Structure 1
Amino acid sequence: MDSNFDFNYEEIVDYSYDNNSINNNSLTEEISFKVHTTCFTEVMCLLLLVVNVIIFLLGIGGNGVVIWIAGFRMKKSVNTTWYLSLAVSDFIFCSFLPFNIAYSVTSDWIFGLFMCKFTSFVMFLNMFSSIFLLVIISVDRCIAVIFPVWAQNHRSVGKASFIIVLAWFVSAALSVPSMVYRDVQHHLGIGRCMNNYTSSPYTHEIIAMSRFVFGFVIPFLLIIVCYTVIILRLKASQIAKSSKPFKIMTSLIVTFFLCWAPYHAFVLIEIYKSSLSNDIKTNGLRIGTTVAAANSFLNPVLYVFMGSDFRKKFKSSVFSKIENAIGEEGRTMSRYLSRSSSVDAKASTHI
């Protein structure tokens, strides 16, 4: 689209202006001032505002409970380390949503240049760290299934913590451009927090493509490969006696794709100047961003709550359900590792 002064629903959205749009800024800002003075005058904006408030409340509540249980109530293990880091990433993301909720209501950025840059950095930090953690969990499960003896002897909380720190470091490095190119522009007394790519004609395309490749394509392919290997291995060994693990794995893959595909698709559409109207692009980015944000409260559901049968344990406390769910995968993995280790040990005596 030519310019994106008219709306900034989320900091994660790639609304921007560049060398191709700088000549149209005055006209777009004038239209923006007249049309988007408040979110409550637009049905789409109001609907997405309500959805984001729900995401904030569920995300803070769900991830907060997971952090408390995995971090303080349960014995530290590799699995709880994964869950804890994932919950922290999503909790941080959700804790910054009020800035964008306020921005969408007033259409005026009042939090200053530093918060404009920092909130954008945090949003993409969550995007990369959350996705990288999902890949790490997938790879960890895959290794445990393929090399059970090695996994039982070498998986440790210390190594898991080191991998998580490394993932956060890489995520921070990939998120720096979102902070560098973020800027606050003022017009007619209204401040707008947006991307400023006027310094280079190809900066926008490079950054967007790097996010698409490293934040979606590669992680998604890795997750697909890992869960395909896991499913084939479990079927071959006939260890999985029910279809529940396969349903959970399928839901993880599908949810990951559905949450992030719309956002990346409309960012690419915006960059390559498709024939779609500006309204379709703008609304597509709004919806895509909201769906991506929803992943932050869906993660506790998919990675924790689906691990136990709610109907059978309905009478137990919520905290007990979550604690049992987090520990369930660890107990299942331990049984699998023990059984596989025993089989491998027996097999080795015949070689």
Structure 2
Amino acid sequence: QSPSGSSLNSCSIPGNISTASSPGVNFSGVLILLVYLIVCVVGLVGNSLVIYVVLSHSVSKSVTTVYIFNLALADELFMLGLPFLAVQYALSYWPFGSFMCRLVMAVDAINQFTSIFCLTVMSVDRYLAVVHPWKSSKWRTAGVAKVVSTTVWVLSSVVVLPVVVFSKVPRRMSTCQIQWPEPVSVWSAGFIIYTATLGFFGPLLVICLCYLLIVVKVRSSSRKVRVLSSKRKRSERRVTRMVVAVVTVFVLCWLPFYVLNIISVVCPSPVEPSLFGVYFLAVVLPYANSCANPIIYGFLSYRFKQGFRRAILRPSRRVQDQEVVVCIEYPGSLKGSSPMCMLV
């Protein structure tokens, strides 16, 4: 069995893919290593920019910004586990010990759930902002958003307790994965259903319901007198468009993974080597999703675009703005006379 692509994968898709018959470096493992490292670098740089822009007050501390910050933080931590998993793929065994196995798997799983929970909360916030703008105004504050975000992190930590308890490095396999007790098939299937329900399909149902109600509200009020100012409406529309884009990309990246996991429960059978590319794509797409969010912010949010631009160009501007004064005192000049100075 191959190493897992993420903590929630170890009991399903990757667990059935054979990458090497014995520990050692193999071509497919090296290719996977390169793909993972590229995704890791892009994801770390992009989400670090988002976090920097938010913390440097380049964008306003709105409710949506608080949720975006937590989503970027989850994506950032999600990326930090990739180098460990990439090395495992390349070597076909886990060289970091049992403690690091449990830590990496737990952090990986926590941030996986935190991402979808943040998107769910953002969708509910969009529903309140569009459908109940006045009634929800006292609840839609940055302070409340911080409390909700903290609750999301705590809830994610509780949901992934099975990963913390059962993650280990079996002696016979020497790979980091979830080691279920007997009967293994029942535990594994139950965990897949558990994670698919709480980590994807359940939140997705809430998200779809929120945007369905938003569409109904927008259509029903399109012919009525507009209470909000046109500027306020344009702002809300832009934020909603950005959140919809983030949710859509998330679904496209995670849906293949969960579908294949459910198929593995309904029709448990060994994976054909020829399908390895399909299964690897289903594993790597969720990680690639963490790279996509900063790009979406840059394209759809003017404030984030400006913040990214300032963050990237600031070092060069500092160099340009520095004024160096050079003073030259010529030999033979009179005592007490001032040296010749100039700016360079």
- Which residue matches 1:38? 25
TM-fit CA distance, 1:288: 1.0
Q: Aligned residues: percent identity?
A: 26
Unaligned runs of 5+ residues in structure 2 are 223-229, 313-344
TM-fit CA distance, 1:11: 3.1
- Distance in 2 between residues matched to 1:154 and 1:293, nearest whole Å: 33
How far does the alpha carbon of each residue in 1:296-338 deviate from its partner, in whole angstroms, 9 at most, with x for none? Answer: 111222345422399xx8xx6733499xxxxxxxxxxxxxxxx
- Which residue matches 1:63? 47
**What RMSD, in angstroms, separates the aligned Cα atoms of the two structures?**
3.2
Q: Which amino acid aligns with 2:138?
A: N
Larger Rg: 2
- Which residue matches 2:199? 215
- Matching of residue 130 in structure 1 with residue 120 in structure 2: no
User: Contact 2:93–2:174 at 8 Å: present in 1 too?
Assistant: yes
How far does the alpha carbon of each residue in 1:112-161 deviate from its partner, in whole angstroms, 9 at most, with x for none? Answer: 10111111111111111000000100100110111111222332222111
- Matching of residue 319 in structure 1 with residue 309 in structure 2: yes
- Distance in 1 between residues matched to 2:102 and 2:124, nearest whole Å: 33
- Which residue matches 1:260? 254
Q: Which amino acid aligns with 2:291?
A: F
- Distance in 2 between residues matched to 1:65 and 1:47, nearest whole Å: 28
TM-fit CA distance, 1:105: 1.6
Q: How does 1:1-351 map to 2 (within 5 A)?
A: 5=1, 7-12=2-7, 14-16=9-11, 32-34=20-22, 37-39=24-26, 41-42=27-28, 45-74=29-58, 75-187=60-172, 191-201=174-184, 202-238=186-222, 248=242, 251-274=245-268, 277-279=271-273, 282-308=276-302, 318-320=308-310
Give the alignment's TM-score, normalised by structure 1. 0.74
- Distance in 2 between residues matched to 1:253 and 1:93, nearest whole Å: 17
- Distance in 2 between residues matched to 1:195 and 1:278, nearest whole Å: 22
- Distance in 2 between residues matched to 1:153 and 1:174, nearest whole Å: 30
TM-fit CA distance, 1:59: 0.9
Tell me how many residue pairs correspond in the alignment.
298
- Distance in 2 between residues matched to 1:321 and 1:223, nearest whole Å: 32
- Distance in 2 between residues matched to 1:267 and 1:295, nearest whole Å: 18
SS of residue matched to 1:76? coil
Greater share of helix: 1
User: Contact 2:78–2:108 at 8 Å: present in 1 too?
Assistant: yes
- Distance in 1 between residues matched to 2:299 and 2:43, nearest whole Å: 14
Unaligned runs of 5+ residues in structure 1 are 323-351
Q: Which amino acid aligns with 1:173?
A: V
User: Contact 1:86–1:130 at 8 Å: present in 2 too?
Assistant: yes
Q: Which amino acid aligns with 1:8?
A: P
- Distance in 2 between residues matched to 1:263 and 1:216, nearest whole Å: 10
SS of residue matched to 2:182? coil
- Distance in 2 between residues matched to 1:54 and 1:9, nearest whole Å: 18
TM-fit CA distance, 1:246: 7.5
User: Contact 2:118–2:149 at 8 Å: present in 1 too?
Assistant: yes
User: Contact 1:266–1:284 at 8 Å: present in 2 too?
Assistant: no
